[in-house]
Structure 1
Amino acid sequence: MKSLLIILAVVGLCYGQNAGTNTPEVHLDMPIQNCESGSCQSQSTKVVMDSNWRWAHETTGYTNCYDGNEWSPEFCPDADTCTANCAIDGVDQATWSGTYGVTASGGSLSLKFVTQGTYSTNVGSRVYLMESDSAYRIFYLKNKEFSVDIDTSQLPCGLNGALYFVEMEKDGGMSSYPTNKAGAAYGTGYCDAQCPHDVKFIAGKANSDGWKPSENDPNAGEGKYGACCFEMDIWEANSQAQSFTSHPCNVNGYHPCEGTECGDNGADRYSGVCDKDGCDFASYRNGVHDFYGPGLTVNSNSVITVITQFITADGSDNGDLSEIRRIYIQNGQTIQNAAVNFPGVTAYDSITEPYCNEIKSFFGDVDDHEAKGGLRNMGQSLGRGHVLVMSLWDDHYANMLWLDSSYPTDGDLNAPGTLRGPCPITSGVPSEVESQYASATVKFSNIKIGPIQSY
């Protein structure tokens, strides 16, 4: 019997590149509403499972190429040999729900946190929206409004039900990197502003050289290379806290990195090609502790319509991005975003260049957002087109405390920006949330894109 290899979900996982044939590939239907012409029409889009969650095996058999958190020395003695020897296989209808805990119905997608399958225990998932069975759906967001219904009521501290855009290649990298034979059809080509090293294949080649198994995650590790690109976080949240964030870079498109340009944590963090911190708008961190959460103004106990507007300076699709504005709708009520609530700080209620500059200065944060070109550069990336990502994950690096607790954990609780959510600093330990909250689920539905103020 074949043994499925499922990797624990962490930020920035992905892999490829040969396409296996042992399991037929099935993409789940998830239609969206395209309202860009002024009237809404249903678009027959689908979702594909990220390649990292797939079974990876030798191309001529069933033996795993990656086992535990290490590459097989037999099939992967070096990157070139590994790339030639290994394939990722399909995800059929039964595997979507039975192995990964992912279901779709109409325009709704549900991601379950932990699923006990026949051969494995799966943790988290990440999927991409497709326009066809071989290509990702590309979104051009400048001068547009993006809307989605989200249910985070079943997500406790330590989890992140995320929906975001990244500047991935439409075909998953097949045309740019000929050794990638799987492409978007198998969920390849992931990148983000963290320039993740745990991407198993980068630029069509195995990232096995210099691979270091993780010390606290039995199924993950890091390779020599990273995969960088612009990232626009629409929604990073659980039931306790939420944020949306712009992450510009000083390189265009999908960019493999090595060494300093990856901006690894530590001395190189702000020397890399992407702004890892980003310019975030998080109500709790901005001093409003009664806005989002169970029973609050934006009530995380119920479904929330999350609207994000990408406003340009001249009101055209080609203009410079000048503002990212957030609006909520819940139970028929329109709720404007909460404004910054600190004495002496301008009461901004959206992401603008002045907001990013002032709030980062107030928090004492490095303004890498401006250094990487700010909103104007972010807008240029959005003009080139982004892929929609939906995921559910826990955090083996910082226990998600950066999202929902006090961070850094040894920071002054009275210092502006330290408080990011109400969760205790002891929360979010992956082994604990995986055992205690296996059934945690996030749901995304009713996705729409259209003109500004079309909600």
Structure 2
Amino acid sequence: MFSKAALLALSYAAIIVTTVFGQQVGTNTAETHPSLPWTKCTRSGGCTTQSGKVTLDANWRWLHSTEDPNTNCYTGNTWNATLCPDPTTCAANCALDGADYAGTYGITISGNALTLKFVTNSQQKNVGSRVYLMASDTEYEMFKLLNQELAFDVDVSNLPCGLNGALYFSQMDADGGMSRFPTNKAGAKYGTGYCDSQCPRDIKFINGQANSAGWSPSSSDPNAGTGQYGSCCNEMDVWEANNRAAAFTAHPCTVTQQTICEGDSACGSTPTNRYASVCDPDGCDFNSFRMGNKLFYGAGLTVDTTKKFTVVTQFITDDGTDTGTLSEIRRFYVQDGKVIQNSRVNVPGMSSSLDSITTDFCTQQKSVFGDTNSFQDKGGLAGISKGMADGMVLVLSVWDDHAANMLWLDGDYPTDADPSAPGVARGTCGTTSGTPAYVETSAANAFVVFSNIRFGELDSTYIPIPIPTGNPVPTNTPPATIPTKYGQW
């Protein structure tokens, strides 16, 4: 629900390592993308393996002078004034280098399983990471979500309060913005072009130029700050979770590609103008705990977070076609050979039949929780549907939260609100549990594992048993009526 901008400056750099978005390409470390196979599925033909790769977000990479690799362009949370006197000169002077995925960033792949370690200590201390799934060495894989479904296995057993193992879609440019912005020489190969619904302003380079103008170092994060500009786009949070709480959230925007914003108002950067940007920062979210079922997700509960499980998300259209308009985002799980239906709403004032994200669900939720309905103001499901039709990039990350200690996901938030008020309690984590200073020490060895990523037609990724002749099940029939190899609901 809240900003992933905190992700953009979490790598604690040594003297020669920084964490920024760069535009030129360095030659000190060869960039070799780790392979991450995934599968594409149809109901009639089953699933076939795709030879995917991942690339590290540019913000975690070493950014240095094009003339002298021992000179950083950005150190701590300030720019090198000599190399970066203005945004254009900075982009020309600074080179982005290749990455040591395992050694520096704690990113490892075994078969189809991607492990993202929270803290890695090598020559420097690195915190968190973010990677993108690639179609080639120079372009991101673009997923068109309408009338499709995504499934993946996840292990969050080693991900405590205050951390977020996230899998989501962002409407980035396929080439990282390289063709639209010629001063971006690094492109998707080096993980450039990030955007999301928070219009984050701590991205160091946007649209091929440095975000150094008006840069203000963060008072709480020694590696972060905010610039004059932000980067906005549609965002579909399929999975934001730790072992105590989980949510899926749609964030529509009124723009249909990565778009720059300028200043507090246009970027929605402060509480007084939070809803002034082109995107919905809150989104419409489904968190089972927040929606009234406190025994659904967690250790030993219906979805048992001490063990691996499968997450299935379906993007249903109004006419059942790939060209229709998004009308519902449906979720269910598979664990221990059983399909688990998503929890139903148990909030006074809301219909108890609701168990997915629909316009009705979002309208009722915003009304009962007393939240601003920026979701509908920015186009609702129909708004984000346009981004899904054009294609979105798959993002996988692990991060902590310098802005709100992740309490919007796993605790009571806002912290000054009555926890018994509808929508305030989102999980069982204490209000002091997620401070970065604490989790970066106490949970340094935390990690999340994403594996067995499948994408394709509805009801194809979790392998339903063929329906007997004479008893057909329509494509969009809720999973509760579909017998599967894992048993009934």
**Does residue 323 of the first structure (1) align with residue 334 of the second (2)?**
no
**1:365-444 paired onto structure 2 within 5 Å:** 365-444=371-450
Q: For residue 359 of structure 1, give the secondary structure of its aligned residue in structure 2.
A: helix
Q: How many residues align?
A: 444
Instruction: Quote how far apart the aligned CAs of 1:190 are.
Output: 0.3
CA-to-partner distance for each residue in 1:302-354, whole Å, 9 max, x for gaps? 11100000000110000010000001000110000001102331121000000
**1:117-266 paired onto structure 2 within 5 Å:** 117-118=122-123, 120-259=124-263, 260-266=265-271
- The residue identity in structure 2 corresponding to 1:399 is N
Contact 2:204/2:210 (<8 A) preserved: yes
Name the residue aligned to 2:56. 49
Q: Percent identity?
A: 57
Q: Which runs of 5+ in 2 are unaligned?
A: 1-13, 463-489
Tell me how far apart the structure 2 counterparts of residues 363 and 266 of structure 1 sit (CA, whole Å). 18
- The residue identity in structure 2 corresponding to 1:303 is K
Tell me how far apart the structure 2 counterparts of residues 66 and 432 of structure 1 sit (CA, whole Å). 26
Contact 2:138/2:189 (<8 A) preserved: yes
**1:224-373 paired onto structure 2 within 5 Å:** 224-259=228-263, 260-347=265-352, 348-373=354-379
Q: For residue 135 of structure 1, give the secondary structure of its aligned residue in structure 2.
A: coil
Tell me how far apart the structure 2 counterparts of residues 138 and 51 of structure 1 sit (CA, whole Å). 19
| 1:80 alignment partner, one of 88, 104, 108 | 88
Tell me how far apart the structure 2 counterparts of residues 374 and 4 of structure 1 sit (CA, whole Å). 45
Tell me how far apart the structure 2 counterparts of residues 375 and 222 of structure 1 sit (CA, whole Å). 30
Instruction: Quote how far apart the aligned CAs of 1:6 are.
Output: 4.3
CA-to-partner distance for each residue in 1:21-56, whole Å, 9 max, x for gaps? 111001000000011474311000000000010000
Name the residue aligned to 2:485. none
| 1:23 alignment partner, one of 21, 26, 29 | 29
CA-to-partner distance for each residue in 1:190-236, whole Å, 9 max, x for gaps? 00000000100000100001000000100111100000000000000
Tell me how far apart the structure 2 counterparts of residues 277 and 289 of structure 1 sit (CA, whole Å). 22
Name the residue aligned to 1:10. none
Tell me how far apart the structure 2 counterparts of residues 241 and 48 of structure 1 sit (CA, whole Å). 28
Contact 2:349/2:368 (<8 A) preserved: no
Contact 1:239/1:300 (<8 A) preserved: yes
In structure 2, do the counterparts of structure 1 residues 6 and 434 end up closer, same or farther at CA, with 3 Å as the change threshold? farther
Q: Which runs of 5+ in 1 are unaligned?
A: 8-13
Tell me how far apart the structure 2 counterparts of residues 38 and 231 of structure 1 sit (CA, whole Å). 30
Name the residue aligned to 1:110. 115
Name the residue aligned to 1:11. none
Name the residue aligned to 1:453. 459
CA-to-partner distance for each residue in 1:129-162, whole Å, 9 max, x for gaps? 0011010000011000100101110011000000
Tell me how far apart the structure 1 counterparts of residues 366 and 348 of structure 2 sit (CA, whole Å). 15
Instruction: Quote how far apart the aligned CAs of 1:4 are.
Output: 3.7
Contact 2:172/2:193 (<8 A) preserved: yes
- The residue identity in structure 2 corresponding to 1:5 is V
Instruction: Quote how far apart the aligned CAs of 1:413 are.
Output: 1.4
CA-to-partner distance for each residue in 1:410-432, whole Å, 9 max, x for gaps? 10112100001000001101011
| 1:90 alignment partner, one of 81, 98, 110 | 98
- The residue identity in structure 2 corresponding to 1:379 is S
Contact 2:18/2:74 (<8 A) preserved: no
Residue range with higher mean Cα deviation, 168-177 or 38-47: 38-47
Tell me how far apart the structure 2 counterparts of residues 265 and 290 of structure 1 sit (CA, whole Å). 35
Tell me how far apart the structure 2 counterparts of residues 221 and 388 of structure 1 sit (CA, whole Å). 26
Contact 1:163/1:391 (<8 A) preserved: yes
Q: For residue 136 of structure 1, give the secondary structure of its aligned residue in structure 2.
A: coil
Contact 1:38/1:450 (<8 A) preserved: no
**Does residue 5 of the first structure (1) align with residue 13 of the second (2)?**
no
Tell me how far apart the structure 2 counterparts of residues 102 and 305 of structure 1 sit (CA, whole Å). 21
Instruction: Quote how far apart the aligned CAs of 1:387 are.
Output: 0.1
Name the residue aligned to 1:99. 104
Tell me how far apart the structure 2 counterparts of residues 100 and 3 of structure 1 sit (CA, whole Å). 16
Q: For residue 99 of structure 1, give the secondary structure of its aligned residue in structure 2.
A: helix
TM-score by length of 1: 0.96
Q: Give 4+ residue runs of structure 1 displaced > 4 Å after superposition.
A: none
